[in-house]
Structure 1
Amino acid sequence: MRLDILNHGYRPGTKVLFTLIRVFSGQPLPDAAKLVFYRPDFYGDRAKRFTHEAMRGPSAWSVADRELMAAFVSKVNECAFCVGAHTATAGRADQDAARVRAVLADVESAPIQDGLRATLRMLAKLTRQGTVSVEDMRDVLAAGVTPRQVEDALAVCAAFNITNRLADAFGFEQLSPAGYEAGAKYLLRRGYR
């Protein structure tokens, strides 16, 4: 069920900003952006800071890897909006959309490094079951992933488990392929601020 609050409930200055974004991008403003502007003091400002740090902060994982993690967690959660948004962003960041599609189709046969594969397996289990075991973490570390990389991947997972649930609860509207590509360009240029 789409909540009407995403269409209304903004201050006049925010409405003007939305109009400017729509005019200059040629695309409608995604609901994800609208959500962070609704009650920014309660959710939006904190969510933007946390997500930006998880996705663009210092990490041994590349931006493409973290965007792929976001798309992968979103696929596990069956969140169509976030799958579309982060598949486009990961493909653009990686400059290999086919690799991104391969991971989302079957992580086991996808052409990725073992460390990333082990990390994605762990994120899938955590997303589905809400828990992972010591053995799961040993498998990730044995694949060459550092403890810091595990922490960084868990931050991406946390950000997108929250975002996926909000996207579904608020009924985020799907974008056109051009809309997802415009969003991907923005996210790669400006991040999540």
Structure 2
Amino acid sequence: MRPGILNHGYRPGTKILFRIIRLLTGQQLPDAAKLTFYRPDFYGSHAKKFTHEAMRGPSEWSVADRELMAAYVSQVNQCAFCIGAHTATARMAYADDAKVSAALSDPDSAPIPDGLRATLHLLGRLTRGAAVTADDMRAVLATGVSPAGIEDALAVCAAFDITNRLADAFDFELLSPAGFDSGAKYLIERGYR
């Protein structure tokens, strides 16, 4: 059930900001962004900082790789809003729709590096089963992914396991393809701040 708080209940300055964003982009502000503005001291500021660091902080993974990981975790969780948002962002970051579609459809046959393939499998196992083994980690390390790379991928997984659950609990409204593309452009340019 969608709580009405996502539609109202913001401070006057925040409401003005939402109107300005709508005027500048021609798109409604996505519910994911609205949620971070509601009680920012409790959730929003912390979530934005954690997610921005996971998705845009220093890493051996490119922005495109991390966006693909976010889309993949969201797909495993069957979170329609986040699948749409992060598939669009991964496509824009890679500038390769076919690569993203193939990786989300079947990582084993997708034209992606072995390290990314093994990492997607690891994130899928963790998301589905809430646990991974030392052997799962060794399989990723064997492809050349560093321990820091695994840690970075696990941070992406944690950020989107949380976000996926919130998106579904709050019944985030799906955007049009143009809305997802507009959001992707913002995320590519500004990140998660």
Range of TM-score over shorter length: over 0.9
Look up the match of 2:22.
22
Q: State how far apart, in whole Å, the 2-side matches of 1:88 and 1:56 are.
A: 17
Q: Does 1:80 align with 2:80?
A: yes
Q: Check if 1:142 corresponds to 2:139.
A: no
Query: Pairwise mapping of residues 14-163 of structure 1 onto structure 2 (< 5 A)?
Result: 14-163=14-163
Alpha-carbon shift at residue 108 of structure 1 (Å)? 1.1
- Equivalenced residue count is 193
Give the distance between the partners of 1:156 and 1:182, measured in 2 at CA: 22
- In 1, Cα distance between the equivalents of 2:124 and 2:4? 32
Q: How does 1:173-192 map to 2 (within 5 A)?
A: 173-192=173-192
Aligned residue type for 2:2: R
**Aligned-residue offset at 1:89:** 0.3
TM-superposed deviation, 1:41: 0.1
Q: What is the alpha-carbon root mean square deviation over aligned residues?
A: 0.5
Q: 1:107 and 1:5 mapped to 2: Cα distance? A: 38
Measured in 2, the distance between the counterparts of 1:113 and 1:77 equals 23
CA distance in structure 1 between the aligned counterparts of 2:98 and 2:184, rounded to whole angstroms: 16
Percent of paired sites with the same residue: 72
Residue 33 (structure 1) shift: 0.3
Supply the distance in 1 between the matched residues of 2:124 and 2:73 (Cα, whole angstroms).
6
For 2:2 and 2:58, locate their aligned partners in 1 and report how far apart those are by CA, in whole Å.
36
Structure 1 ranges of 4+ moved more than 2 A: none
Aligned-residue offset at 1:8: 1.0
- Distance in 2, Cα, partners of 1:143 & 1:126: 18
Rounded to whole Å, the distance in 1 between the matches of 2:168 and 2:127 is: 15
**Matching of residue 11 in structure 1 with residue 32 in structure 2:** no
Aligned to 1:58, what secondary structure does the other structure show? Answer: coil
1:143 CA drift (Å): 1.0
What is the CA distance between 1:3 and its match in structure 2? 1.2
Amino acid at match of 2:158: A
Which runs of 5 or more structure 1 residues have no equivalent in the other structure? none
- The aligned amino acid for 2:75 is K
Offset of 1:11 from its aligned partner? 0.4
State how far apart, in whole Å, the 1-side matches of 2:3 and 2:108 are: 38
Runs of 5+ unmatched residues, structure 2: none
Deviations 1:23-54 (A, max 9, x none): 10000110000000000000000000000000
Q: Secondary structure at the match of 1:46?
A: helix
Alpha-carbon distance between aligned partners in 1 of 2:155 and 2:15, rounded to the nearest angstrom = 31
**TM-score after normalising by structure 2:** 0.99
Aligned partners of 2:161, 2:37: CA distance in 1, in Å? 20
Task: State the SS of the aligned residue for 2:123.
Answer: helix
